[in-house]
């Protein structure tokens, strides 16, 4: 086996190992945050806009505050 083929083989091996050890997906991270009892407080805790027709704009202002002692990170926001 030539030196260039060996280098190519090891480079591909390192690439595969690095791909297998990548960071968790955002959804998985959110589960960890919930499991550690997040101290984020949303005010108001629930918002119901009723029926919003397609094309209409609905604006809601929420206050989000950290009631705990540790820093929190919001990684993903989705509407229902």
pLDDT digits (tens, 9 = 90+) for 41-72: 888 888 888 888 888 888 888 888 888 877 88
Whole-model pTM above 0.85? no
Compute the radius of gyration of the chain from its Cα atoms: 23
pLDDT digits (tens, 9 = 90+) for 13-41: 777 666 665 555 555 554 545 545 657 88
CA distance 72 to 33: 8
Number of C-beta neighbours around residue 30 at 10 A: 15
Mean pLDDT, the chain, as a whole number?
74
* Residue written as token pair 């929420």: 62
Instruction: List the Cα angle 78/19/23 in 5-degree steps.
Output: 40
Q: Are strands 63-66 and 40-43 parallel, antiparallel or unpaired?
A: antiparallel
């Amino acid at each position: 086996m030539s030196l260039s083929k060996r280098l190519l083989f090891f480079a591909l091996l390192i690439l595969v190992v690095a791909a297998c050890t990548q960071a968790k997906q955002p959804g998985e991270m959110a589960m960890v945050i919930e499991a550690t009892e997040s101290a984020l407080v949303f005010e108001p805790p629930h918002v119901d806009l009723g029926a919003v027709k397609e094309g209409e704009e609905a604006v809601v202002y929420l206050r989000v505050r950290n009631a705990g002692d540790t820093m929190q990170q919001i990684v993903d926001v989705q509407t229902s």
